[in-house]
Amino acid sequence: MAVKEASAVRPPARDRLLAAADELFYNEGVHTVGIDRIIEHAGVAKASLYNTYGSKDELVRAYLETRHASVTQRITRAVERYDTPRERLLAVFEGQGELFAQPDYRGCAFARASAESHPGDLAEQAAEAYRRWVRALLTELAAQAGVPEPEVLARELHLLYDGSGQSARMDHDRAAATAARAAAATLLDAALARGPAARLSG
Amino acid sequence: MAVKEASAVRPPARDRLLAAADELFYNEGVHTVGIDRIIEHAGVAKASLYNTYGSKDELVRAYLETRHASVTQRITRAVERYDTPRERLLAVFEGQGELFAQPDYRGCAFARASAESHPGDLAEQAAEAYRRWVRALLTELAAQAGVPEPEVLARELHLLYDGSGQSARMDHDRAAATAARAAAATLLDAALARGPAARLSG
DNA sequence: GACTGATTAGACCAGTCTGTCTATTATCTC
DNA sequence: GAGATAATAGACAGACTGGTCTAATCAGTC
């Protein structure tokens, strides 16, 4: 056995720091929460944070990457639960509803982080990547549903998606995703009624 | 003539401070912008700020009140431009489009300020008041349009309204309000088709 | 010119922030 | 036990924050 196998022996300090960052950054804001709060919450020395992540910015990046992976995975799984294109498209809002149902949901992490950041900042880049992912997913699912102009519908649905997140946060309305799903169904049906699918059925 | 008539002689320092606060707070964030930046931008001594507003918090309050008055006035005027209930309802999104068309639009001021603030904070209260105003307006206009359940439609339209603001900010898509208006028209028509108005016409 | 009152620039205070550094302690392999 | 490694607590630096205070300057009325 070698002296050490860095990849096999997982240092818990890194994970505890990330968990603490995730909780505090998300709940109280990236800007507001200081290094001292994080290392205290993680039970870790300050030097360990800087040995592990190098800077607060890098910790923020890791936090946002974790959020991105977690959210996209949840939405993807919700979509994969269904078979029909219509259900799969609407499932995006069901996945969003699952996010809202978490006990301490406080709004879209990227919208929050981006609102605190400067233009071109790390947080804004992460938010833009997330938005591109959502838009691409909605466009693809709209196309598979047979909508004549998938980009147009995807744009409208993205409005609902964003609005739903904001309403869940600011109105403390966890059923916002349900309303968004209903509105999305209406928009989808209207788009199909205007498109080639309507000609086939009519 | 008396020695001074405080209400007649308007001190420009107060207004210059408010203008500087409006510009800097909105563009760079309430938290990020410090007192020094504001007084420098306003061309005013620090003591004048504290003699006039008392604290940074009070300046933030004045800034948000100004924004509230300005935005609600713009939306109201857009609505009053039309006569038919349908046009008046959709005009809300036209007024929003006018906001987006401003050269340095950076998203809903209340969403931005609220994202930086703590729960129960001054900024969050202002954001909630603004949201209540929007929701009440949408509900009233939906009712006047003859929709059977105005609250339900208003909630969906509020999602579009919020999403539109967020898209305008984060996607730099100033035509977001146009997409929101189109989606709102679809939702309105669908709601009317389900309601008593449909029975009258069908 | 003298008085009043507002405004000015800027020093200053106490606190917070990120980040560095030192010195000590715990852990683990030999 | 010896030695290497990593984690620890915490002092410290430099920059920033909101806010107070002093002292000088300016305006307008008598």
Q: CB contacts < 8 Å between A and B, how many?
A: 106
Q: Model confidence at A7, in pLDDT bands (50, 70, 90)?
A: very low
Q: What are the pLDDT digits (tens) for A48-66?
A: 999 999 999 999 999 999 9
Give the pair of three-digit tokens for residue A191: 């788009």
Q: For A112, name the nearest residue in chain B, comparing CA atoms only.
A: B115
Nearest to A177 by CA among B167, B97, B156: B156
Q: CB of A66 within 8 A of CB of A22?
A: yes
- Positions of strand C less than 7 angstroms from a protein CB: 6-11, 16-23, 29-30
Interface test with B, best of A108, A130, A131, A159 (most B CBs within 10 A): A159
| pLDDT per residue rounded down to tens, chain B (202 residues) | 333 343 334 457 889 999 999 999 999 999 999 999 999 999 999 999 999 999 999 999 999 999 999 999 999 999 999 999 999 999 999 999 999 999 989 999 999 999 888 888 999 999 999 999 999 999 999 999 999 999 999 999 999 999 999 999 999 999 999 999 999 999 999 999 987 654 444 3
Interface test with B, best of A155, A172, A178 (most B CBs within 10 A): A155
A162: buried, middle or exposed (CB in 10 Å: 19+, 13-18, 0-12)? buried
State residue B2's pLDDT score. 37
Distance B56 CA to C10 C1' (A): 19
Which 113-152 residues of chain B approach strand D with CB closer than 7 Å?
none
Q: CB of B68 within 8 A of CB of B129?
A: yes
C-alpha distance from B77 to closest chain A C-alpha (Å): 24
Residue type, B91: A
State residue B196's pLDDT score. 63
Nearest to B179 by CA among B105, B96, B110: B96
Residue A6 pLDDT greater than 60, yes or no: no
Nearest to B166 by CA among A64, A67, A130, A150: A130
Q: CB of A17 within 8 A of CB of A38?
A: yes
A187 contacts B156? CB cut-off 8 A: no
Which 18-37 residues of chain B approach strand D with CB closer than 7 Å?
33-37
State residue B13's pLDDT score. 84
Which residues of chain B make contact with A182, given a CB cutoff of 8 A? 156
**Mean pLDDT of the region A156-179:** 96
DSSP character at residue A102 = S
pTM of the model: 0.90
Q: CB of B51 within 8 A of CB of B40?
A: no
**Residue among B112, B128, B176 minimizing CB distance to A115:** B112
CB-facing half-sphere around the CA of A93: CA atoms within 13 A: 27
**What's the CA gap between B188 and B180, in Å, rounded?**
12
**Is B26 strand, coil or helix?**
helix
Which residues of chain A make contact with B118, given a CB cutoff of 8 A? 28, 32
- Rg, C-alpha atoms of chain B: 20
